[in-house]
Chain A
Amino acid sequence: MPQIFTASADTRLRTAALLLVAVFVVSLLFTAGFMNSTYLTSVGWVVTQPVPFSHEHHVGGLGLDCRYCHASVEVSAQASLPATHVCMTCHSQIWTGAPVLAPVRASLADNKPLHWQRVARLPDYVYFNHSIHISRGVPCVECHGRVDRMPLLARAKPFTMEFCLDCHRDPGPHLRPRDQVTRMDWSGWHEDPQFARKQLQAFGIQPDKLTNCYICHR
């Protein structure tokens, strides 16, 4: 009977098997990296807006409170984006001829809302509500980052399920006094080491229930 396998067949088989494993591992690493990349989570990417509105100037520079523009954040699911006349409360008198603000003036004159491109968005199958987070003292900065340092707004946190769950499993250390939620740089929580426990108790927050699927997928 003639030999079926040559002398080198064993080596070739081993190399092929090794290559296969290597390709598998590399593609796994690539997929994992891609899933966590800012390309998928949009973290740090700015989008083109009709007006280059700067939170750095208006929040950091002028000290405007978030609620001056995102007025419904405390009472509804939506934080809401400001209507044109909100810009005009100031820009009817200052920077009135600035070319960057031309779309705002046109929007007011034609009574057509500005088309802001959305930055912070969840998939449609996730339910989110601002008012409950604000009323429990979850500050804006936990989810939107240092908005007061952003000349153009970008997403600061990956809005993945992991991100939400990390806090829902143990929300205590993230909470603040209710009247400090819009402060970007508050760090006085260490004044009362019992604060987190007291907050959880006062609001009856049960972390074990907050991770149930129906909380966010309803």
Chain B
Amino acid sequence: MNAGLVIATLLTLAVSTCDQMRHQPRYDYAEPSKLFADGTSLQAPPDGTIARDDPTWQAALTDRPPMTAALLARGRERFGIYCAVCHDLAGYGQGIVPSRGFPHPPSYHIDRLRNAPSSYLVDVITHGHGAMYSYADRVSPADRWAIAAYIRALQLSQDAPAASLTDDERAKLDGGGK
């Protein structure tokens, strides 16, 4: 048999088994890249680009969704993920991160924030406030309204006049919550 042919076949086999197509000529998420000056394939879109769903996204910022139980449940979950580490689950601003030296956020249960419209809460999430950064990159506009709705529920939970309760609830309250 021709020796050259044997060597060529062996070489091809050797090369093909090296990588087994684990790395194909495309970029995976966050893969380093020599193509761009900053060395990563994670590139920000050029200035002035808008995504196809940006108008809907923007509209959702101004359109307040109707209050529903589902909205509150969603708000509660999102609040737990993004806000509770600082504002704590009840909204008094005693979360674990302030206990490690972060400035304490104000309690939600003060008159100024009780009287602030929900759109103000949405605005704080969108643009941040003082030491608090914006959460616009991680909380979608619809979710911002959901969180705002949940904060309203939290405020009510700490400030409901006893007279507004039903007799049943009053009885429970008098019984120490049993």
Whether A63 contacts B85 in the complex (CB less than 8 A), given A85-B133, A93-B102, comes out as yes
Interface residues of A in 82-130 (CB under 8 A from B): 83, 85-86, 88-90, 92-94, 112-113, 115-116, 118, 121, 123-125
Query: Taking CB as reference atom, which chain A residue is nearest B138?
Result: A71
Do residues A124 and B23 form an inter-chain contact, with CB atoms below 8 A? yes
Contact with B along A34-64 (1 / 0, CB 8 A): 0000000000000000000000000000111
On whether the beta carbons of A68 and B133 are closer than 8 Å, the reply is: no
Write out, one digit per residue, whether chain B residues 80-114 have a CB within 8 A of any chain A CB (1) or not (0).
11100100000000001100111100000000000
Q: Does A18 touch B at the CB level, under 8 Å? A: no
Cα separation A81 to B131 with both chains bound (whole Å): 23
Q: Are A63 and B96 in contact (CB under 8 A)?
A: yes
Chain B residues, CB < 8 A from A112 = 38
User: Given the complex, which residues of A lie within 8 Å of B32, measured CB to CB?
Assistant: 115
Tell me the smallest distance from the CB of B17 to a CB of chain A, in Å: 13
Chain A: CB-nearest residue to B29: A78
B90 CB to nearest chain A CB (Å) = 15
A160 within 8 A of B: no
- Determine the chain A residues whose CB is within 8 A of the CB of B21 once the complex forms: 123-125
With an 8 Å Cβ cutoff, the count of chain B residues facing the other chain is 31
A81–B23 Cα distance when bound, in Å, is 21
* Nearest CB of A to B95, in Å: 9
Q: Does B62 contact A (CB under 8 A)?
A: no
Indicate which residue in A67, A81, A93 contacts B103 across the interface (CB closer than 8 Å).
Answer: A93
A67 CA to B85 CA, complexed, in Å: 13
The answer to whether the Cβ of B129 comes within 8 Å of any Cβ in the partner chain is no
B123 CB within 8 Å of chain A: no
Cβ of A68 and Cβ of B96 under 8 Å apart? Answer: no
Q: Is B172 an interface residue (CB 8 A)?
A: no
**Measured between alpha carbons, how far is A125 from B102 in the docked complex, in Å?**
45
User: In whole angstroms, how far apart are the Cα atoms of A83 and B30 in the complex?
Assistant: 11
A64–B100 Cα distance when bound, in Å, is 14
Interface check B22, CB cutoff 8 A: yes
Using Cβ atoms and an 8 Å threshold, which residues of chain A touch B81? 65, 67-68
Q: Is the CB of B30 within 8 A of A118?
A: yes
B40 close to chain A: CB less than 8 A: yes
Closest 5 CB pairs of A and B: A123-B22, A124-B24, A71-B138, A89-B133, A65-B81
